[in-house]
Structure 1
């Protein structure tokens, strides 16, 4: 048994059981990959993959157990490599963050600015997607860290750390009738066409749940992943908008007014997600501390080790 065989098994699964694509990804030949997998199966005494002719089609039951062990072994190997690199160079390397548009646009700019000033030699990359996609990017080692509100709290294979809380605001044009309401209600909001986030983004599930509990079905005129798009259409007078509070700036959004509606839709928690068992370079800890000053390296390490009850917002 050797590491090449384990890499080939992992990559075959990642490439949807296409050995040609797995060979390309690993810069080797397809026959070599196939032979190495067969030799590993013979050594283990079980079939890892189901086959149709010469093509592999999926994982057998023992194959799923083998893959789980392979993932753990390869993760440890990757961790050993990162340890070596970190001790060789504490302030250089690459760092990839996967996040949603709202976080990238409104939360991260100041954090990224402070980080790049502290670590100018680190190559920082931002990948965007919906919460499920950014979580998968971390699980597949395409990103070091994910930042989102939904979907990453209880995903297998991830350690999810709460960073900060936020609430929704209702945005309306100046002089809108809702600005005269002393305590705005769901019924008042539902009387107008609603412009808000796509179902996968920025606490939309809380919005839908709140209306549903009251038996209300608001007229959702437009859904978007971008608060700037929502605000643009509100400015045109097409409806009222529900956005994350962090996305409204009174100075920048002079043609709009914001109404706090946290009492209607509750508090949302944005979280950082890290791969379980991952080795974190020192500047990853620094980035998390810049994002959530209540966290520190010692506390993050305890959370990564599985001590879930040592930290709450």
Structure 2
């Protein structure tokens, strides 16, 4: 049994049991993967997949257990590499991050730019998706870091570190009727709305805020991308509700922005890493670049924490910065 065989096994499972897709992702051949899978099953003396002809149709009960153990083995293999890399003072490797479009577009560019300058030999992978998609990447051990807002219940396997808080703003074409009304949930609900895609579970502080007032707003368009939301606000499809840090100077040319911090609860963006992962020095530096609050000393304490409650207690007295929109100055600041 080899690590390569276990890697092939996991990739087959993560690609819908499609060996061709697995081969493409692993930059190898389909016959090569099929051959190694047969070798592995022969060594174990059992089938890991049910078959119909040459196609794999499902994972056997034994296969599920072996795949889970294989994930743990590969994670420990990566931990050994990480540890060896740090002990030899090598500043090269790979860092994979799963995050939302908002973080990838508005928060991470400057951080990644500075990180690449300091660690030119570290290869970066950036995956974008919804909270559910990010959780899937985490659960299948395809990424090192996850960065998202709220939805922490999807990530029980991670150590989660708050980075900053933010509020929402309202966007509308200039001279739109909403700009002339007192801004509250009642006035907002009287217009068609354009906002982010909702969680598949239905959890949403946006929805809950209206429900508490007995309001049922008409959401006519949703998107993951704040830039797309702005586009459809501009063509008059509805009033936009977006994260405050997505407002840019150029937006003020044709859009009016209104502070909605009194309408919706403040939310927290966080970064997380697997509880069993050994962090390379460049990984801890990335966290520090993202939030200088997390220095080496604090990160070391966090790593030693056994559970999330201990981490939360450790950082409970920290005042994390907030992205605030100033209506007076028509700009967003991190304060």
* TM-score range for the pair, normalised by the shorter chain length: 0.7 to 0.9
Contact 1:9/1:37 (8 A) holds in 2: no
SS of structure 2 residue aligned to 1:221: strand
Structure 2 counterpart of 1:118: 118
Structure 2 counterpart of 1:106: 106
Contact 2:75/2:141 (8 A) holds in 1: no
Contact 2:135/2:154 (8 A) holds in 1: no
Instruction: Measure, in 1, the Cα distance between the counterparts of 2:125 and 2:49.
Output: 35
Instruction: Measure, in 1, the Cα distance between the counterparts of 2:258 and 2:20.
Output: 56
Superposition CA RMSD, Å = 3.2
Q: Does 1:267 align with 2:271?
A: no
Instruction: Measure, in 2, the Cα distance between the counterparts of 1:21 and 1:235.
Output: 40
Instruction: Measure, in 1, the Cα distance between the counterparts of 2:36 and 2:117.
Output: 46
Q: Does 1:278 align with 2:277?
A: yes
1:86-97, aligned counterparts within 5 Å?
A: 86-88=86-88, 90-97=90-97
Structure 2 counterpart of 1:205: 204
Instruction: Measure, in 1, the Cα distance between the counterparts of 2:178 and 2:22.
Output: 58
Structure 1 counterpart of 2:44: 40
1:1-313, aligned counterparts within 5 Å?
A: 3=3, 6-7=6-7, 9-17=9-17, 25=26, 28=32, 30-41=34-45, 57-88=57-88, 90-182=90-182, 184-200=183-199, 205-250=204-249, 252-304=251-303, 305-308=305-308, 309=310, 310-312=314-316, 313=320
Structure 1: stretches of 5+ with no match in the other structure: none
Contact 1:139/1:158 (8 A) holds in 2: no
Alpha-carbon distance change, 29 to 186 in structure 1, aligned in 2, over 3 angstroms: closer
Alignment: residue pair count: 307
Structure 2: stretches of 5+ with no match in the other structure: 321-335
SS of structure 2 residue aligned to 1:13: helix
Instruction: Measure, in 2, the Cα distance between the counterparts of 1:193 and 1:29.
Output: 52
Under a length normalisation based on structure 2, what TM-score does the superposition of the two structures give? 0.77
Alpha-carbon distance change, 125 to 18 in structure 1, aligned in 2, over 3 angstroms: closer
